[in-house]
Structure 1
Amino acid sequence: MLTPPEQFGIVEPGLYRSDTLHPSHFPFIRSLGIKTAILLTPELPSRAMSNFFEENNIRLIDLALGSWKNNSSSNSNNNNSSATDGQGQGASSGGGGSGAGEGASGSNTASSLIPSIPAAPFQTSWWKPLSEELIKDGLEMVLDAKNYPIIVMDTSGIHEIGTFMGCLRRLQHWNFSSIIVEYRAYAGNKARYVNEQFIELFDVDWITLPESLPPWWIEQEQMWREEEEEREMLLCQEAEQESRRNVERQKLQQQLQGN
Structure 2
Amino acid sequence: MARKQETTRVVDGRVVGDHEAGRRRAEEEAEAGEVRFVPPLNFAMVDNGIFRSGFPDSANFTFLKSLALRSVIYLCPEPDPEANNVFLRANGIRLYQFGIEMCKEPFVNIPEETIREAMKILIDVNNHPVLIHCKRGKHRTGCLVGCLRKLQKWCLSSIFDEYQRFAGAKARVSDQRFIELFDISSLKNTPLTFSCSKR
Q: Above 0.5 in TM-score?
A: yes
Distance change (3 Å), C-alpha of 1:31 and 1:201: same
Count of residue pairs the alignment pairs up: 160
CA–CA distance in 1 between the matches of 2:179 and 2:118? 14
The aligned amino acid for 1:163 is C
* Residue in structure 2 matched with residue 131 of structure 1 by the alignment: 111
SS in 2 for 1:11: strand
1:96-122 per-residue CA deviation (whole Å, 9 max, x = no partner) reads xxxxxxxxxxxxxxxxxxxxxxxxx9x
Q: CA deviation at 1:134?
A: 1.0
Paired with 1:23 and 1:202, the residues of 2 have a C-alpha distance of 35
Cα distance in 2 for partners of 1:127, 1:206 equals 27
Q: Report the TM-score, using the length of structure 2 for normalisation.
A: 0.75
Match of 2:193 in 1: 215
Query: Shift of the alpha carbon at 1:164?
Result: 0.9
Say whether 1:190 aligns with 2:167.
no
- Superposed counterparts of 1:101-112, under 5 Å: none
Write the mapping of 1:166-205 to structure 2, written as runs, cut at 5 A. 166-205=146-185
Matched with 2:56 is 21
Report the AA paired with residue 144 of structure 1.
Answer: D
**One-letter code of the match for 2:129?**
P
Aligned residues with identical type, % of pairs: 33
Distance 1:9 1:129, change over 3 A: farther
What's the Cα RMSD here? 2.0
Question: Where do residues 25-174 of structure 1 align in structure 2 (5 Å cutoff)?
Answer: 25-64=60-99, 127-174=107-154
> Which structure has the highest helix share of the two?
1
Q: Secondary structure at the match of 2:99?
A: helix
TM-score normalised to structure 1 length: 0.58
Is this contact kept in 1: 2:41–2:55, CA < 8 A? no
1:206 deviates by: 2.9
Pairing partner for 1:9 from 23, 27, 44:
44
Match of 1:98 in 2: none
Cα distance in 2 for partners of 1:26, 1:130 equals 29
The amino acid of 1:197's aligned partner reads R
Greater gyration radius: 1
Structure 2 unaligned segments of length 5 or more: list them: 1-35
Please give the secondary structure, in 2, of the residue aligned with 1:64.
coil
- Cα deviation for residue 209 of structure 1 reads 4.7
- Between the aligned partners of 2:118 and 2:189, the Cα distance in structure 1 is 12
What amino acid is the match of 1:160? R
Counterparts of 1:169 and 1:42, CA distance in 2: 24
Query: Which deviations, in whole Å up to 9, do the C-alpha atoms of 1:29-78 show, x marking residues without a partner?
Result: 0000000011111111111111110111100111227xxxxxxxxxxxxx
Partner amino acid, structure 2, of 1:62 = Q
Q: Distance in 2 between matches of 1:170 and 1:130?
A: 17
The equivalent of 2:4 in structure 1 is: none
Q: CA deviation at 1:6?
A: 1.6
CA distance in 2 between partners of 1:63 and 1:135 (Å): 8
Structure 1: any 5+ residue segments left out of the alignment?
A: 66-120, 224-259
Distance in 2, matches of 1:155 and 1:144, equals 23
Contact 1:26 1:52 in 2 (8 A): yes
For the residue of structure 1 that corresponds to 2:60, the secondary structure is: helix
